[in-house]
Amino acid sequence: MRILAPLLITILLSSSLLALPAYADTKLERVVSRYLEGVAKVLKGKEQRGVRKAALGDLDNDGDKDLVVSFLLEGVGEEKSWGQYIAIFRNDRGQYKGITDEVVGGKFFRYFNLEGVLNQRIIGITETCPNHTPQGSCDKPALGTVSLTLVKDKVVERK
């Protein structure tokens, strides 16, 4: 249950989940965990505990709030390093379903912090170390913002 706590806390902090009854939270966490386990299996990685973040917001402009979850996998790729991903769960009349996922950060890419959803855009703050310094290990990373949108059920990044 330790993994689920940050997700729950983040959801509770973001004003919009008040309508969901308690049983739905548990069900939603199961949906999220199952999807993320599937991604980890495909990428042959292992999810790092305690860094999962979630944000709610309408991504497909149908008036209900969809769910974005960011997570980190260790041991992925040829380098067996870490990568950061987001998974999108579309809200279909109160039922959340994982529809897609995308890499958003990694050891040789950048560090990605999920900030929230605004105007159908997923907003992330990035930290990038210069040259080939592994991300997250330099003193003064360059800060940036990325905006991601859902286009035909795929995540598209816009600068």
Question: Residues for the chain: how many in total?
Answer: 159
Contact letters for Ca ion, residues 117-146 (x by CB under 5 A): ------------------------------
**Shortest Å, Cβ 82 to Ca ion:** 30
C-alpha torsion angle, residues 42, 43, 49, 54 (rounded to 10): -80
Buried b (16+ CB within 10 A) or exposed e, 81-98: bbbbbbbbbbbeeeebeb
| Residue nearest Ca ion by beta-carbon distance | 58
**In whole angstroms, what is the distance from residue 120 CA to residue 93 CA?**
18
CB nearer to Ca ion: pick between 40 and 59: 59
Q: Which of 43, 156, 37 is nearest to 104 (CA)?
A: 156
CB nearer to Ca ion: pick between 73 and 99: 99
**Shortest Å, Cβ 60 to Ca ion:** 5
| Residue numbers 55-94 binding Ca ion by CB under 5 A | 58, 60, 62, 64, 66
Size of the site for Ca ion (CB under 5 A): 5
Compute φ and ψ for 2, nearest 5 degrees: -60, -35
**Shortest Å, Cβ 6 to Ca ion:** 23
The residues binding Ca ion (CB under 5 A) are 58, 60, 62, 64, 66
